[in-house]
Amino acid sequence: MGTRKKGLEFAKHITEIITKATGFERHLEKVQITGGGDGICTAEFKVGPEHLNRGGGLHGGYTATLVDMITTYALMSKPCHPGVSVDISVSYLKGAREGDDVVIEANTIRAGRTLAFIDCILKHKKDNSVIAKGSHTKYVNFE
Amino acid sequence: MGTRKKGLEFAKHITEIITKATGFERHLEKVQITGGGDGICTAEFKVGPEHLNRGGGLHGGYTATLVDMITTYALMSKPCHPGVSVDISVSYLKGAREGDDVVIEANTIRAGRTLAFIDCILKHKKDNSVIAKGSHTKYVNFE
Amino acid sequence: MGTRKKGLEFAKHITEIITKATGFERHLEKVQITGGGDGICTAEFKVGPEHLNRGGGLHGGYTATLVDMITTYALMSKPCHPGVSVDISVSYLKGAREGDDVVIEANTIRAGRTLAFIDCILKHKKDNSVIAKGSHTKYVNFE
Amino acid sequence: MGTRKKGLEFAKHITEIITKATGFERHLEKVQITGGGDGICTAEFKVGPEHLNRGGGLHGGYTATLVDMITTYALMSKPCHPGVSVDISVSYLKGAREGDDVVIEANTIRAGRTLAFIDCILKHKKDNSVIAKGSHTKYVNFE
């Protein structure tokens, strides 16, 4: 199976997971998984009113939620157990406003026997400027 | 005005902010602000189905959202501008399940002229065991 | 054995480790371990010329080294394997200059079967103002 | 001036700074700056006995010191004031032993008017496997 086809299969699989989500994960309902596989997951969404803080910018908690989830999807594409979170860190570089198109890219830097390390970046689609970057360390050892 | 009275005034003020929230902050609607003032904010909530991940545990993205918001409320009690996020880090120590009562405590370690540093801890109410701890660095210089 | 006596025994034990250190740990040679036990380690040092950055302040890399080591000593007091580092984060709140006396306190928040989470704070001895705070996540499962 | 020539000029400039260092920065004396410019700094070093922890691996405190310094050199190449540290986070993915050749790459993701965000990665030269990755947030506003 080609890389592009694998990416589409992966995107379809994750989209189904999001569609069926009942808990906090349902807040990714407007996030479109665009590709992935081999430790990577890419996604896009348009900032909506439900994603904003009081100042009218993309909410830092929603950004952190996206870092948490898109890195987890990336890890699941290894394929690998989704694991449990150990540490998440997020840096906020630039704002985003309602209507902005945001591209998300998560990349598994290392998935060891017990720990996995996945990076994530959120960028403006219009100019590739970085909105936020995050790191997620997960415990994956469930032998 | 006494400390306890000030704490109640602060709790009332933040509760009004949450009640009126229209964006992502509305996901704190079930979080009860229990006190605060002088750089501190305390809160409580019962883990509901809307806060869960697929595994039935408290979602890491919701935990990060709580760290983001409760530290911001703590900072606002200085009183101080809520500022904008620079860096958030969260460590996940222990799980929480639906029905668990969770206590949140945020404490401003330093609010300087340009940057503020606020810590946050989420604990099980039943035994004070730590669920998560977080740090939030905010930029507050808007002279 | 009383808590104070246990603290002195622990301080003596760690001091011997530092004295015999041959690698990078020898840069703690002027750090005095003042107490500890049950997941805690306290220490003190006077900022010397060898700890400075070009600007004449306490070097951020030395601060990070202290966070790394004093949290590890705290963990060793459980007693527990020193473990291996997973994630370290440090926030820099305030400067320190040559001659300043600095107090360091590390506290194990949780030492589970596989992961341990230890916090650390560096304070000015003169006024308890916080110079830096750090978090260290270690992998400790060597069954 | 060509990119390669600019890189060599930059490497020479930073090498002079390290050579003249009197404080904690002198521990980079064996680190060879290999290039840089436009927000980037690359370097190499061979792990020596002075960089080790008791277990014979590359010391986490030295790794954090390298993240701190190489990101600062990257920022200085913008050109830009070196700034002061706000937050540093380091993830430790893989060990390194004495004699291993390590490549370091730092990249300025954003240098704004008041804050700069620089990433850093340490890799084994032999196979490009990641030893550690770090993020450094600096305050750069000294108008």
Select from B62, B43, B44, B64 the least CA-distant residue to B52.
Answer: B62
Taking the CA atoms of residue C91, residue C41, residue C123 and residue D25 in that order, the dihedral angle to the nearest 10 degrees is -60
Residue-wise pLDDT tens digits, A34-92: 999 999 999 999 999 999 999 999 999 999 999 999 999 999 998 778 899 999 999 99
Neighbour subunits, B (≥3 Cβ pairs < 8 A): A, C, D
Which residues in chain B touch residue C133, judged by CB atoms under 8 angstroms apart? 109, 117, 119, 135
The pair of structure tokens assigned to A53 is 């803080």
What is each CA distance from C12 to A100, C36, C44, C137, D34, in whole angstroms?
Answer: 59, 10, 14, 25, 44
Give the pLDDT mean for D99-115.
Answer: 96
Percent of chain A scoring above 90 in pLDDT: 90
* Among the partner residues D89, D110, D112, nearest to A89 by beta-carbon distance: D89
Label residues C28-54 b or e (16+ Cβ within 10 Å = b): beebebbbbbebbbbbebebeebbbbe
Neighbour subunits, C (≥3 Cβ pairs < 8 A): A, B, D
| pLDDT confidence band for B81 (50 / 70 / 90) | confident
Residue-wise pLDDT tens digits, B94-113: 999 999 999 999 999 999 99
Q: How does the average pLDDT of chain C come out, rounded?
A: 95
Beta strands in D14-114 (DSSP E): 32-37, 40-46, 84-92, 101-111
In Å, how far is B2's CA from the nearest CA of chain A?
A: 30
Give CA–CA dist D67/D121, Å, rounded. 8
Which residues in chain D touch residue C21, judged by CB atoms under 8 angstroms apart? 54
Cα A26 to the chain's mean position, in Å?
13
Map tokens 């070097």 to a residue.
C59
**Which one-letter DSSP state was computed for residue C30?**
T
Which residues in chain D touch residue C57, judged by CB atoms under 8 angstroms apart? 84
Map tokens 């050199």 to a residue.
D73
Q: Is the peptide bond before C82 cis (omega within 30 degrees of 0)?
A: no
ipTM: 0.95
* Among the partner residues D69, D85, D92, nearest to C92 by beta-carbon distance: D85
The angle at the Cα of B101, spanning B96 to B107, to the nearest 5 degrees, equals: 90
CATH number of D2-141: 3.10.129.10
pLDDT of residue B141: 80
3-state secondary structure of A134: strand
Give CA–CA dist A92/B98, Å, rounded. 31
Label residues B117-136 b or e (16+ Cβ within 10 Å = b): bbbbbbbbeeeeebbbbbbb
A23 and B88 within 8 Å at the Cβ level: the answer is no
Give CA–CA dist D87/D84, Å, rounded. 10
The pair of structure tokens assigned to A88 is 């998440």
Residue-wise pLDDT tens digits, D55-71: 999 999 999 999 999 99
pLDDT at C143 over 70: no
Domains of chain B, by residue range, sit at: 2-141
pLDDT of residue D3: 79
